[in-house]
Amino acid sequence: MDTVVLLSCTGLGLGALYFLVASGLSLIFGLMDVLNFAHGALLSVGAYATWWAGTEAGLSFWLAVPFGTLVGTAAAVLLELFLIRPLYSRPRDQILATVGVGLAVPALLMGVWGADARPFPQPALLSGTWHVLGATVPVNRFVLVAAAGLLLLALRLFLARTRYGLIVRAGVEDRAMVTALGIDVRRAFTLVFAIGGAAAALGGALGGLYFGSVNPGQGTGLLIFAFVVVVMGGMGSVTGAAVASVCVGLVQQFANYYTTAGLGDLSVVVLLAVLLLVRPRGLTGRLA
Amino acid sequence: MHGSLRWWPIALLILLLVIPYSALPVPGLLDGPLGSPGSLQLIALCLLYGALATGYDLLLGRTGLLSFGHALYFATGLYATNLGMLELGLPFAAAAAFGVACAVALALLLGSVSLRVTGIGFSMVTLAFAQAGSILVQRNPGGITGGEEGRSAPAGRLPSALLGIENTANLYWIALAYLVLTLAAVHWAVGSPIGRVWQGIKENERRVEVLGLRPYGYKLVAFVLAGALAAVGGVVYLLLTGGATPQAATSDATLSLLVMVVLGGSGTRWGPLLGGVLYTWAGHRLGDLANSAAVADLPAVLRVPLSQPLFLLGGLFVAVVYLLPGGLARLPARIRAARSVRSARSAGPVGATGARPTGGSPA
Amino acid sequence: MPRPASPVVATPVLRLTGLGWSVRGVPIVEDVSFSVGEGEFIAFIGPNGAGKTSLFNLISGICPASAGSLELDGADITAESVHARARRGLGRTFQTSSLWPATTVADHVRLAAQAAAGPRASYRIWRRADRYADQVAETLARTELAHRADTPASALSHGEKRKLELAVLLVSDPRLILLDEPMAGVSAEEVPALTELIRSVHRDLGRTVLMVEHHMDVLLGLADRVAVMHHGTLLALDTPDAVMADATVQQAYLGEAL
Amino acid sequence: GTAGTNAADGGGAKSPVKVGLVYSRTGPLAAYGKQYLEGFKAGLSYATKGSGAVDGHRIEIEEQDDAGDPAKAVSAAKDLIGKGHKILAGSTASGVALQVGPIAAQNKVLFISGPAAADKVTGLNKYTFRSGRQSYQDIRTAASFIGDAKGSKVTVLAQDNAFGQANVAAVKAVLGAQGATVDAVLAPPSATDLTPFATQARTAKPDLLFVAWAGDTSAALWTALNQQDVFAETKVVTGLDLAASYPLFGPAGEKISFLNHYFGGAAGTPVEKAMDEAVTAAGGKSDIFTPDGFTAAQLIVHAVEANHGSADDTSALVKALEGWSFDGVKGRTTVRAEDHALLQPMFQVKLTGNGAAARPSVARTLTADEVAPPVTPMAG
Amino acid sequence: MPAAALLSVRDLRVVIDGLHILHGVDLDVAPTGVTALLGRNGAGKTTTVKAVMGLVPRTGSVRFAGTELVSLPTHLVVRQGIGYAPEDRGIFAGLTVAENLRLAERDRDAEPAYHLVHELFPELKQRAGQLAGTLSGGQQQMVAIGRTLLNRNRLIIADEPTKGLAPKIVAEVADVLARAAEAVPVLLVEQNLALVRRLAGTCAVLADGRTAHRGDTAELLADEDAARRLLGVGGRRPGPPAVTEEVNP
Ligand SMILES: Nc1ncnc2c1ncn2[C@@H]1O[C@H](COP(=O)(O)OP(=O)(O)OP(=O)(O)O)[C@@H](O)[C@H]1O
Ligand SMILES: Nc1ncnc2c1ncn2[C@@H]1O[C@H](COP(=O)(O)OP(=O)(O)OP(=O)(O)O)[C@@H](O)[C@H]1O
Ligand SMILES: [Mg+2]
Ligand SMILES: [Mg+2]
């Protein structure tokens, strides 16, 4: 019993981490049609900035996380301004440029801070455990779940309450026509990219909490699961990504534990393949 | 001018044929003289990847299929051949045939499943299958793949003409033969009736259906053919590196193929080859640049990034995408176009004020 | 040339029985039944959104029928795929021209000829693709596109694209031809030539043609019968004169002349 | 003695000995590669008494980066061999060592593997030696933590990959043979949430929990083990890696019993002192794999010395090394003739202090014989 | 007449990918009523309109109510008060009808004129939730015109608004334009000469990227020779290539 509780709680925590990583990716992909391979790099930037602020610069953890998120957002804005924006008429090249950034940024981090994992600052408040129905669950899993929930809420509000979602979706179809309606579409795109980057950086910062350390390849390592989640959720539906994250987290956690060879990631991969073959448009059935 | 252009592939082939007999030093490009084992090994790897990229472009540039799992078939050829020798005790030739057959069977199976979805769904299903393969190899089932350490090829089962430094030239010939085989296969297929259907599928799949052709079958042929070519590449790779290591199966390997194709120019005749050669060469030589004394003397802001080969590679790639749309292969055409515009401009009237459009191309 | 007032449908090429299509419960095409005789020319008119294009999509298999059935030459094709129907000799054009932008005019026709030779012919990877030269030349000459043979489709003018669509259609020599607004966007000066081309396909080659068109003067000169669609149903199917005289048609479709 | 003075006289004239180093200068193991190189340079200077030459033959080093990729390593090795190098050394990663070894054998050149720990490198072939320890020596050091294994219960917590599987097998072989019951908790290498595996390890209630863990999730693992209170009832043993990793153990660090290949200052030998001075002078710091580079240089210089400054006859080089026993950084070190295992002392270590303040200290030094791996038959 | 022009275009030139498409277009739009822009297929009408909107790179002078537009980006051109219904309708296929309209709301201070749009095109109200891409061609055209009527514009530019419409709808659109033109001047690009005759007071005719004629519409259409020469009605001649066609079925 307590094993099941533990697996459920930690599975949810893992799902929350996946959602933190995937939400920005999903937003950018769903609205802007850019499959952002540099998303892992943004995660790493957020994680390293938080780590740097929390250790080298001596800020408290509660200041370091906003700082890291801010740096990640700035990186995303720069990425959009200097790489994505000039390539809007060449969507495939956009993807490829992000592949290049995804290669270069981790290498740069490795060059500056070395390849080895660095211990991540852990505030005392979050390093304990809670006892839930006989299971000892680390507190930070609950923090992740709460952060993911808040992020989901915030993104949904942004999409529903502002015109930006609409503008960007229209802009992907036909940028010129959006400007011909008197809208400065570039600003909207930059904003969406910045929000995606902020989500990624927050994911990176909280991922550091989860792993207890940061290393240059961490973001890229999570990226593949983020892709899986985005596709399963239905290509850019943020809510779909949330549902898929929880599914993937739970399935992976249970399969890792109960199958002898630890088939967690294999089962996720099989899940994806089967889902796409049965429902080619993903869980929520948005455009494929 | 065009007459001479038509002959350059043959000239290139002749050049490639004389390389092992040449002791020409090419400082900067290569570490040793042309015919030295180290250079031959590097050139052979370049040719191998040029051929692999050419085969991959059969999917990407010719049929419009963005597969993220091509490395799976390369790795299958590599591992199955090696295991054929190690576990089944087959002689090399039989093991190679076994390896390619395994990859073809796998491509047939997985291709027929993944081609049931289109667009980004197809990309993701292929990625998923390749990821499963990669995990399996790393997991070392039954101890046969050797996990992350891989397994080296059994020297006893390889023909002695392929062993030892003094025989590097023979490996080079094999890589060259593989390249010629791939180029011939791809160009022949593209020029055949099925190649025309592929082009139709790439540009407008529904339109092909309306003509009475079912795209699925033709795409499957492309998928299996590309898979088979990749598998042969895996066999050549086994000979060149003397072992099978899991790096070959990762999604990064497919991503590199993608980068190569784009670098050179997807859908063009020579672009993928060019891209593969350049990427591989840069991957090996940028390390030397990164470690060179010139870099070591730079201030830290420059030295730290420049001493990371992957940073240089990533940066280079971004630059190419940014500055050379359509890849290197389209560069001459672009230069020509730019020149004609300039001459047209200088002849025609010049407007006083210019304004850039805010949107991309008008819809 | 005198036309029969009410053509006898001796051997129906196409027979629709109660055909319908709805999207999420909303009917788009409803209970359409009629037969098309060999060599007949039927023009479809109707207000925008009446379901003309949707009906063509149903016939060519691009949309699956949600009710009723469809026979081509007596065989039930309701459940068949787009390519299977095409192989039975059903060819169509699209309302917005649908071509391969980077492919040359000659290659368009060549691929269509290759496809017409059956799906096997296209699998022959060991052959060269530059066959069917006679067919290609003949078709390009007929559609007056010979001088554009090596031009990629994206560089054609609108009228030429329309012609190329017809060329692709003609080379495979379909039994039944569906044309969706072939004159849309074609300038006044090119209309007569295109009309003539369609007429020759119908009259000289004896092909069965269904055509959607808003240019009344064009279709009145071509059609044996005119079908009027409205709100997804078939309002009338009769001789041109009778349809034009119909008060409902006047009111629902033509409106008062400018 | 006299050989050294001769070298100084005619140094320039005699043909140099070319040594190729293929190691990770970049890539995931770059930190190990750096230590190795620093150690190698120190060792070369130590063994040649600062002359950099043997019998007047300069030892020329050419470095090549493999970035941890075996394919790159093979290309680099072939390049070096093609340029006439008769001696190769390096291999930071096991995958590299296992691929370069056969190349060396095919071309009959001497290959001295570096930090790569895989047991398979021992006895790989006649031309392959190693300058570091191997996993089996780690395991025997771990085994030394339970005095009498008979009847005790041992659990191995490892990742389900080649490294983890090899450790499980080795523990079974060593402690199982001594009468302990050995079982394993294997986690998928890609698993990021390790809490359930920590509980599994706790509920197994072993007398000794041996943790064989490599890679980026180690911080998560130690946090999980600490949070699930595994240390209260069980003795936990694991390997102590490079200095940069000490903080990753977090608060658990002081509760763990470490087996250790080497840390800066562990051995207290005169050779270590020489190494440390040279490395510090060059701006480095001795760490876990510095001795591997140092030892490699010692082995090379000895083999070349035995052949009077020539590296042309590889068989003679091999013969010179087989069975050679010498004073190494860690103490008395022997190249076992049968399979080229490098017999060397190992350490039991404690960490004191937390996070960045964690410092290791030697609890016990195990002699080379106490931790010697079993003899493997030479493969080829 | 030209002195009081609302929009006056002088020596407008456009080069795309090295191709000279416009070689000097002059055009005046009267401050009231409908001004027609005529010409054969490929004459450059659409390009002229796009150049005015800033959708293609251009040189020359475009003055709108005293403001020079040629260096402004498109969204600022539009914010001068120009409503634009493009030739291929510019519908966002993946958005619903309501979202298409909502996107066009521009004025912060004034209520968008939904009542007007819904009165003219009741269909759009019924189909508010439908994806615009699944609308029939004519319905899409209604959305495109509806968008220009939503805001208080000072000029409406409509590029072939009746293309692909049923005759009855054509007549209705003509009414809409006539009514709109009572309040807002309209620049109309059109092939349908009957419509032009009914609506447009003045017109400009383009040929091969240049202005070939400017003047009174009725006069031009009455002069059969000029009409044939300038508009090609009756004559036969292969048209120049048009590259902007979409290719999806
Ligand atoms: N996939 C779909 N989902 C929902 N409604 C659809 C879909 N496809 C078509 N419709 C609706 O069906 C009706 C018929 O459309 P269709 O394109 O067949 O009209 P049409 O008669 O060809 O009109 P036009 O002459 O304007 O081209 C329209 O109201 C359209 O909005
Ligand atoms: N983006 C482009 N690239 C190349 N050529 C273009 C481009 N846009 C337009 N043209 C060419 O410029 C010429 C003028 O085109 P435009 O669309 O302005 O004509 P139009 O008068 O609107 O014709 P239509 O009546 O067919 O709509 C045509 O020959 C067309 O092929
Ligand atoms: Mg229609
Ligand atoms: Mg136009």
- pLDDT tens for D114-159 read 999 888 899 999 999 999 999 889 988 988 888 777 888 899 998 8
Burial category of B342 from C-beta neighbours within 10 Å (exposed 0-12, middle 13-18, buried 19 and up):
exposed
Supply the pLDDT for residue A25: 87
Domains of chain E in start order, with CATH, are: 7-231 (3.40.50.300)
Q: Does the Cβ of C230 fall within 6 Å of ligand 1?
A: no
Q: Pick from D26, D78, D160: which is nearest to B38 by CB?
A: D78
Q: Does the Cβ of C162 fall within 6 Å of ligand 1?
A: no
DSSP helix/strand/coil, B281: helix
- 0.90 exceeded by the pTM? no
Interval D61-98: pLDDT, tens: 999 888 888 888 988 998 899 888 999 998 888 889 99
Supply the pLDDT for residue C10: 61
Q: Pick from E57, E73, E86: which is nearest to B354 by CB?
A: E57
Model confidence at E64: pLDDT above 50: yes
Q: Does the Cβ of C28 fall within 6 Å of ligand 1?
A: yes
Nearest CA, atom 25, ligand 2: E41
Model confidence at E235: pLDDT above 50: no
Model confidence at C218: pLDDT above 70: yes
Residue E169 alpha carbon to ligand 3 centre in Å: 14
Interface test with D, best of A18, A122, A131, A257 (most D CBs within 10 A): A257
Q: Around E99, how many Cα atoms within 13 Å sit in the side-chain half-sphere?
A: 24
Interface test with B, best of E12, E13, E78 (most B CBs within 10 A): E13
- Looking at B135-149, B286-300, C111-125, E16-30, which range is the least confident one? B286-300
Model confidence at E3: pLDDT above 70: no
The count of CB pairs under 8 A between chains A and B is: 139
Q: What is the mean pLDDT of residues A275-284?
A: 72
Model confidence at E234: pLDDT above 90: no
State the ipTM, two decimals: 0.80
Residue C232 alpha carbon to ligand 3 centre in Å: 12
Model confidence at D376: pLDDT above 80: yes
Q: Pick from C50, C160, C216: which is nearest to E167 by CB?
A: C216
Rounded-to-integer distance, Cα E14 and Cα E132, Å: 32
DSSP D377: P
Supply the pLDDT for residue D342: 95
Q: From B278, B300, B276, B304, select the one nearest B290 (Cα to Cα).
A: B304
Q: Does the Cβ of E41 fall within 6 Å of ligand 1?
A: no
Supply the pLDDT for residue D380: 62
DSSP D289: T
Find chains touching chain D: ≥3 CB pairs under 8 Å.
Answer: A, B
Q: Does the Cβ of C50 fall within 6 Å of ligand 1?
A: yes
Q: What is the mean pLDDT of residues E192-221?
A: 85
Domains of chain C in start order, with CATH, are: 12-89+174-257 (3.40.50.300), 100-158 (no CATH)
Rounded-to-integer distance, Cα E62 and Cα E58, Å: 10
Q: Which residue has the higher pLDDT, C118 or B69?
A: B69
Per-residue b/e over E29-60, b at no fewer than 16 CB within 10 Å? Answer: bbeebbbbbbbbbbbbbbbbbbbbbbbbebbb
Ligand nearest to the CA of E168: 1
Amino acid at A271: L
Burial category of C217 from C-beta neighbours within 10 Å (exposed 0-12, middle 13-18, buried 19 and up):
exposed
Q: Pick from B32, B36, B291: which is nearest to D65 by CB?
A: B291
Angle, helices A91-113/A39-54, rounded to nearest 10 degrees: 30
Contact E125, E118 (CB under 8 A): yes
Model confidence at C30: pLDDT above 50: yes
Model confidence at A160: pLDDT above 80: no
User: Quick one: pLDDT band at residue E243, thresholds 50, 70, 90?
Assistant: very low
Q: What is the mean pLDDT of residues A75-94?
A: 85
Q: What residue of B is the nearest CA neighbor of E18? A: B341
User: Quick one: pLDDT band at residue A60, thresholds 50, 70, 90?
Assistant: confident
Assign 3-class secondary structure to A142-154.
HHHHHHHHHHHHH
User: Quick one: pLDDT band at residue D300, thresholds 50, 70, 90?
Assistant: very high
Q: Where are the alpha helices (DSSP H) in chain D?
A: 2-10, 30-47, 70-82, 94-107, 135-143, 162-171, 177, 195-203, 218-227, 270-281, 290-306, 314-321
Supply the pLDDT for residue B350: 37
What are the DSSP E strand ranges found in B117-235? 151-152
Contact A145, A13 (CB under 8 A): yes
Q: Quote the tokens at residue A203.
A: 């994911």
Supply the pLDDT for residue B341: 60
The rounded percent of chain A whose pLDDT value lies above 70 is: 95
Atom of ligand 2 nearest to the CA of E240: 29
Q: Pick from B125, B139, B258: which is nearest to A273 by CB?
A: B125
- Tell me the residues surrounding ligand 3 (ion) with CB < 5 Å: C 53, 95
Supply the pLDDT for residue C258: 46
Q: What is the mean pLDDT of residues E165-175?
A: 79
Find chains touching chain E: ≥3 CB pairs under 8 Å.
Answer: A, B, C
Q: From D60, D134, D141, select the one nearest D97 (Cα to Cα).
A: D134
The answer to whether residue A187 neighbours chain E at the CB level (below 8 Å) is no
Interval B12-58: pLDDT, tens: 888 888 777 777 777 777 777 777 888 888 899 999 999 999 999 99
B-chain residues within 8 Å CB-CB of C121? 193
User: Quick one: pLDDT band at residue D179, thresholds 50, 70, 90?
Assistant: confident
Rounded-to-integer distance, Cα E125 and Cα A158, Å: 26
Length of chain B: 363
What does the DSSP assignment read for C176-220?
A: EEEEE-TTTT--TTTHHHHHHHHHHHHHTT--EEEEE-S-HHHHH
Q: Which residue has the higher pLDDT, A34 or D234?
A: D234
Distance from CA of A15 to the nearest CA of B (A): 19
Interval A164-190: pLDDT, tens: 888 877 887 788 889 889 888 888 888
DSSP helix/strand/coil, C33: strand
Angle at A154 between CA A153 and CA A156, to 5 degrees: 65
Q: From D153, D161, D110, select the one nearest D135 (Cα to Cα).
A: D161
Q: Which residue has the higher pLDDT, D298 or B37?
A: D298
Interval B334-350: pLDDT, tens: 788 777 766 655 544 33
User: Quick one: pLDDT band at residue E241, thresholds 50, 70, 90?
Assistant: very low
Cβ atoms < 10 Å from Cβ of B29: 11
> How large is the C-alpha radius of gyration of chain C?
18
Q: What is the mean pLDDT of residues D36-55?
A: 93
Rounded-to-integer distance, Cα E91 and Cα B17, Å: 58
The residues near D274 (Cβ < 8 Å, ≥ 6 apart) are D42, D46
C-chain residues within 8 Å CB-CB of B212? 83-87, 115-116, 119, 172
Supply the pLDDT for residue D101: 92
Atom of ligand 2 nearest to the CA of E206: 21
Rounded-to-integer distance, Cα A162 and Cα A31, Å: 14
Model confidence at D229: pLDDT above 50: yes
Atom of ligand 2 nearest to the CA of B362: 1
Contact A116, A198 (CB under 8 A): no
Contact D180, D149 (CB under 8 A): yes
Q: Does the Cβ of C53 fall within 6 Å of ligand 1?
A: yes
Model confidence at B351: pLDDT above 50: no
Chains D and B touch (3+ CB pairs under 8 A): yes
The residues near A185 (Cβ < 8 Å, ≥ 6 apart) are A167, A168, A171, A175, A178, A179, B358, B359, E75
The rounded percent of chain A whose pLDDT value lies above 90 is: 19
Q: Around E69, how many Cα atoms within 13 Å sit in the side-chain half-sphere?
A: 31
C-chain residues within 8 Å CB-CB of E241? 151, 155-157, 160
Q: Quote the tokens at residue A167.
A: 């503008």
DSSP E66: T
